[in-house]
Amino acid sequence: MYVDRVPGFRTGAIAANGYGALQMLSDAHEAGAPFDLVLLDMTLPDLHGIDVARRMRGRGYTLDIIAITAVRDLAVVRSAVATGITQYLIKPFSFAVFAEKLENHRAFIATMRSGGSSTSQAALDTAFSALRTTSASVSLPKGLISQTLEQVQNHLASSPTRAFSATELGEELGLSRVTARRYLEHLALVKTAVKQPRHGTRGRPEFEYQHNSH
């Protein structure tokens, strides 16, 4: 699970559908141990994610929601914002992008709590700016570009069962083998990709890289 790989976060429960999620939230609320954050898929088998979010708000649940979807429809995004959904994850996404959203949530909560029962305009601006932090602001090794790194991450995530060599990935993304290998090595270093020897090749040893889904 991606959630459990981010320090300070753990999976509280997993629901198979919208009604199941609402029941879990109700049970947790009644037990006095409400959840802090919901990762809400917009395409559930019984209810649309927007409907689940609306019902949550209707019951008075004020916990934060991060929407997960493959739909890029602006109307859906607007409806999500209207229900208080604070962040959006568009499939496919890498672990690095996912972890960044959770870190943004952590920073937002920490800032909101630091002011006690009252707050200031500056504190609110700081809190909401935390939610807008993007991977472009994350420091990378010299020579790596955040946009290209995200492109490589998303390409691996879109084919999670496939292992790529640097040559194969470079050809598909229009990168040189050397450049592709640098990005793949970085992703392996931060555990977003799994690196392993490619067996059955002659001559110089070759490595392959696969999206890390664990």
Sequence ranges of the domains in the chain: 2-137, 146-211
For residue 3, list its beta bridge partners: none
Give the span between the Cα atoms of 166 and 162, in whole angstroms: 13
Give the pLDDT confidence score for residue 95 in this predicted structure: 81
Domain 2-137: CATH superfamily is Response regulator (3.40.50.2300)
Higher pLDDT, 199 or 129: 199
Average pLDDT, the chain: 83
Give the span between the Cα atoms of 34 and 56, in whole angstroms: 12
- Work out the number of other CB atoms within 10 angstroms of the CB of residue 179: 19
What predicted TM-score, i.e. pTM, was given to this entire model?
0.58
For residue range 93-125, list pLDDT tens digits in order.
778 788 888 888 887 777 766 655 555 565 556
Provide the edge-to-edge strand list for the sheet that holds 64-69.
Answer: 37-41, 64-69, 85-90
Give the pLDDT confidence score for residue 60 in this predicted structure: 93
Residue 17 has pLDDT above 80, yes or no: yes
CATH topology of domain 146-211: Arc Repressor Mutant, subunit A (1.10.10)
Residue 126 has pLDDT above 80, yes or no: no
Region 186-193: mean pLDDT is 85
73-77, 121-125, 167-171, 187-191: range with highest mean pLDDT = 167-171
Identify residue 162 by its one-letter amino acid code.
R
